[in-house]
Every structure is written in C-alpha cells, then in structure tokens.
Chain A
Amino acid sequence: MVWNRIARTLRAGPLTEPAGAADEATAHALAERLHAASQARLGRSLAIRQVDAGSCNGCELEIHMLNSVVYDLERFGLHFVASPRHADVLLVTGPVTKSMHDALLRTHGATPDPKWVVAVGDCAIDGGVFKGSYAITGGTDSAVPVDLTIRGCPPSPAALLDGLRSLVEANGR
C-alpha cells in the first residue's frame, strides 16, 4: 500500500545524499563574467530547460537522475520547466545535428534575458564521438554562445549537480 510506503519513508528520513560545498573556483569565474557583462543577478533560483540537439540520450538519462531522491536538484533552488519562455538555463546535449541547429537557435531566441547556456557532455562541447561527421555542425558554440561546460560521456549526475550549483552560487551572491 502506498500509505505504508509513505509512512516508512517518513520514518526513515530523506534518502538524499548530503552535498558538499559548491565548486568555489567555477562559481567565482561565473560571477566575474556576470559582473563583466553587468547582468542582473537572479538570486538562488534558476529554471532549467533541457534541449536535446541530437544526443544519443545517454546524457538525458543522467540528467533525469537529478530529479531523483538521491540527487534532489530542487533543494538548491533549481528546477526543470516545460517551456523555454520560463527558463533561465538552457541545458544543451548532443553534437548539434544539422536538423537540430535551427531548433536550438529558436529555443535560444525564445528564452528571456538574462540566460545561460550550459553544454552537457562531450558531444555538446566539441562533437565528442561524432566529431567530423557530415551530419553535425559540431558543438553547441557552433550555434549559440556557451557559458559553462560539463564534461563526460555521459557526465555523472554528481558532475552535473556540481556545474549547476556553481551557476546558482554565481547568481546568489
């Protein structure tokens, strides 16, 4: 029964892994960039829109885990949204295939300023395993300017969480 489950969960307490301190160096670098561009700080609250620009879906599986009980992204003030109009952060995965190039550009245009683009996974950074393919334009920065990169093929949820948290830190101070 679901009520028994809920009662057990309540008794056991949260299963979320405790998080260490955020990545100071990255947060500092991001904050400097914000300052240089004299952008408004959004505070400890960011909405994320995930954009699949032709990925193999390995990255999406890991991103999905951020919503799980173990990583619980929401406790840091981050959450996923259903529309680029609601978003502050575009989480781009995949090597930007020719057919997704335009879609990525339009999503970027539909996102209100100030906004950040985070390239997730080796594909999104420089094409990764698809480097040199005729079907891709190669890396997120071939379409839109990138603010932060998270390496890995796919990156682990912990690495994703580190990267996103430094973004919140940069906005929150």
Chain B
Amino acid sequence: MVSALLGLLALVLHLALMLAAAPLLTGLIRRIKARLVGRIGPPVTQPARDLLRLLRKQPVVSESASWVFRAAPATSFAATLAAAALVPSFALDMSTAPFADLLVVAGLLALSRAATALAALDTGTAFGGIGASREMTFSAFAEPAMFLVIYTLALLVGTTNLDAIAGVLREGALGLRVSLGLVALTGLVVAIAENGRIPVDNPATHLELTMVHEAMVLEYSGRHLALIEAGAMLRLLLWASLLAAVFAPFGMANADAPLRWLPAIGLWAVKLGLLAAVLALFETGTAKMRVFRVPEFLGIAVLLGLLAAIFLFISQGFA
C-alpha cells in the first residue's frame, strides 16, 4: 500500500519535473550554443517566456484547414506527454513502470509524429507537404534503427520493459560490452534524427528549403503553436532522459525510498546538463547534411544496431 502510494507520488513529481525542465533544457542548449559562437545569448528561461507569449495570442487558422489541423497539436502533445510519463527520470518503479515498455514509447512517439505530418498536409501548402514527406522518409530509416536498439537490449536483459532494463543496467551486472556500446551509438543517432537536431535538421533555420520539422508547423499560430513547441521541447527531454536511464542509469533512486529522491534528482539534472553541453558543442562544430544524405547517415545507425545484435549472438552462441 505504502509503496503504491510512493510510486504514484514519484510519478506526479516526475511529470511535474519533466514539464518544468523541458523548456529549461532547450533554453540551456541555446544559451550554450550562443556562448560557443561568442554571443551572450538569450536567458535560459526564454523558451518558457516564448510559450507564455504564444498562449496570449489569438490563433489564426486558414480557411482550407479541416478538423485534422485543429486536433493535431493536442494529439501530438498528449502522445508525447504519455510517453514522458513512461520514461523514468530520477526514480525507478514508478506507478507507470509495468507499462513502460520501450515499444509503447516508440509507438507513442510515432503517433505524435504522424499527427503533425497529417496536419502539415491538411492545409495544402507546399512547404507543409515537403516537410511531411521528409519527416516520414527520415522516420522510415530511424524507426528500424530504434527497433534494433530495443531488440538488442531485450536480448541482453530479457525484457523490453524500460524500467526493468534500467534496473538491470544500474546494477552493472552486464559489465561493459561491445554490443552495449554499439547500441548506445545507434540510440544517439536515432535521438538526433527524432528531435530534428543538426546534422539531420537545423532547429534554428529560417530557410524554408532546408526545413524538415519546422516546415510542417509553418501554418500554426497562437496556442496551437505553443502546444507543438512544448511537445518538441518535451520530446528532447524525453530522449535525453531515456539515454541517461539506459546508458547511464547509476544513481537512480527507487520509488519506495523517498530519502534518495533528492540526490537522484540532482544527479539527473547533472546528466541532462552534460548531455546539453555535448549536444551544443556537437551542433556548433558540425554542419547540417544535405537532405539526400540523411538516409545514409541513418543507414549507418541501422547497420550499427544490426552489428550490436550480431555481436551478441556471437558472444552468447545460439543456445
């Protein structure tokens, strides 16, 4: 009884932290990127202010838009939020742990993406179509890589449950393995593609011809846009937490030990900060790829994922 209550409490705290930290993480990355090129940059709270501004505006909806256009932002955000409830941040064994299957997380993210792509096609503008087609092309390559990651982890640990995977990896029972390293690389590439970061997409671009994600949301305004942007920020945080939970799970608390929560939250923040710094450094140092080269880049991820699975078979035999 007590542990169930604590699990619920941890979940509520987790969701509140995720929602609060999402704009801050994006703001932190922007701030670091500005510093790396010699600018002062916007304050870390700027993305949160941007969201508040959008909520105060009156949305404009084009005459040719159907209900799909109006329903998509909420659908997309809700799916991302549901996925965020499943990915552990600081505590394992939250109330959602039994459903925290990696396949469910991947499915929810795909649902959110499909809703945005449909909405982009709905108004019939040229850039919406271009953005939707590119996004779906990329995800056709990113999803197999994601599934190879899940497959290899499942072979290693014996379950696709994210909570259980993080739990096993936290104990360090598996030690360092080649397949684990390859899976981590694949996961990183998939995360970059899913979040539309450099070199796959440029989150700060204003050139319509190079846009992928932003081309799909050009028609949105006001609170619709706020939901979409908040969803994108939340997705970035979700992926960062996911990578941290699987590949750096040390220091995560258990939901039934509330005294350990505080240091675990601190450690989570440190991990996120490190990831943000690495991402900012990487994005400043590399250029965006040509759109037609992205499938090759993602193809490498698929290959690495495949290698990880094969290595695992070789080292374990076919027993």
Contact = CB atoms under 8 A, between A and B. Distances in A.
A69 B39 CA distance: 5
A82 B218 contact: yes
Nearest to A9: B38
Q: Which of B50, B52, B57, B60 has the most CB of A within 10 A?
A: B57
Contacts, number: 103
A42 B43 CA distance: 17
Nearest to B57: A112
Interface string B184-218: 00000000000000000000011110010010001
A72 B30 CA distance: 13
Contact of A112 (B59, B207, B211): B59
Nearest to A17: B40
Contacts of A75: 34, 39-43
B284 interface: yes
Main secondary structure on B side of the interface with A: loop
B283 to A, nearest CB: 11
B211 A69 contact: no
Main secondary structure on A side of the interface with B: loop
A110 interface: yes
Nearest to A19: B40
Given A82-B211, A85-B221, A112-B60, A74 B53 contact: no
B317 interface: no
Contacts of A16: 38-40
A149 to B, nearest CB: 24
A113 interface: yes
Given A10-B36, A74-B34, A112 B221 contact: yes
Contacts of A72: 34, 39-41
Interface string B42-62: 110010011011001111100
Nearest to B225: A86
A80 B206 contact: yes
Interface stretch (A26-34, A43-51, A97-105, A139-147): A43-51
A112 B61 CA distance: 9
Nearest to A115: B57
Interface of B: 30, 34-43, 46, 49-50, 52-53, 56-60, 205-208, 211, 214, 218-222, 225, 281, 284-285
Interface of A: 2-3, 6, 9-10, 12-16, 40-47, 69, 72, 74-75, 77, 79-83, 85-86, 88, 110-114
